[in-house]
Amino acid sequence: MKHPQERKAERETTLLRPIRLTDQITKIIKEQIFNGELRPGERVVEQKFARQFGVGQNAIREALIELAHLGFVRRVPNRGTYVTEVTPEDGVKIARVRRALEGLAIELIVDRMKTEQLDISAAAELLNRMRQLLKKGDMEAFYQADMEFHRRLWALAGNEYLSQMLEQIVVPLFAFFIVVNLHPDSKTESILEAILAHERIVKAIEEGSAEQAKARMNELLDLSLRFCAPERAAAQ
């Protein structure tokens, strides 16, 4: 039988797994995006980072694939990889698509509630977490919780194809929100207003009113347009 100290050491060894090189590179590039070294719309050159980090281009490419999955960069075939940028014009186009798709998601949820017992408490609980994170100023975690709120609603709609389409459209948008609102400052009031809009969506769904929930969702999407024009760009 192994001594308790040996078992403890084995557990600690299991917990302290080595950090993958790709994860380290992903973190560094994301930090450069956050601190403005890499700006929205700027091209991310694999060879440059490979030289900078002293690693092969495959490791950089894997990191960029992960960042693309998270929405922080976009990979354009035959052109390269760019830091995600959402212009005000892009924001309007995205909002129009979201109105249709998230409106459909709400209709499907309310329709399912007529014959099924759906639990939307997990989505509601995320709103409390968003308030706490905003108070702490952790905007990366805040928008991750916001993204998860919408994912919970999409899942309740029960249509995986709808979820996939929304995922493709919304993830880069939220990544961009993180970058331009790391220090919300004067936008705090608007962000609190957005949380209230989320709460109204949940309440309308609980009351079984698809029209009211869609109207509240449209209000939220109108608010989101305020975050598509970073102040840093306006100052130039």
Q: CB of 158 within 8 A of CB of 112?
A: yes
What does the pLDDT read at residue 163?
A: 96
- Which band of pLDDT confidence, cut at 50, 70 and 90, is reported for residue 232? very low
Residues 91-122: pLDDT tens digits? 899 999 999 999 999 999 999 999 999 999 99
Give yes or no for residue 70 having a pLDDT over 80. Answer: yes
Give yes or no for residue 135 having a pLDDT over 80. Answer: yes
CA separation (Å) from 233 to 150, 204, 236? 28, 37, 5
CA separation (Å) from 21 to 51, 158, 231? 15, 37, 34
Give yes or no for residue 57 having a pLDDT over 70. Answer: yes
**Fold agreement between 4-83 and 88-234:** no
CA separation (Å) from 78 to 38, 65, 75, 81, 104? 21, 15, 9, 10, 35
Give yes or no for residue 230 having a pLDDT over 80. Answer: no
Indicate the CATH number of 4-83 among 2.60.40.10, 1.10.10.10, 1.25.40.10, 3.40.30.10. Answer: 1.10.10.10
Domain 88-234 has CATH 1.20.120.530: yes
Give yes or no for residue 126 having a pLDDT over 90. Answer: yes
Q: What 3-state DSSP class applies to 45?
A: coil
Q: Where are the domains of the chain?
A: 4-83, 88-234
What's the burial of 38, exposed, middle or buried (CB within 10 Å: 0-12/13-18/19+)? buried
Record the tokens describing residue 165, joined without a space. Answer: 């389409």
Give yes or no for residue 88 having a pLDDT over 80. Answer: yes
Residues 185-220: pLDDT tens digits? 777 888 999 999 999 999 999 999 999 999 999 999
What does the pLDDT read at residue 16?
A: 47
Q: How many residues does the chain have?
A: 236
Element counts in the chain: helices (H) and strands (E): 11, 3
Task: Find residue 82's DSSP bridge partners.
Answer: 43, 74
Give yes or no for residue 234 having a pLDDT over 50. Answer: no
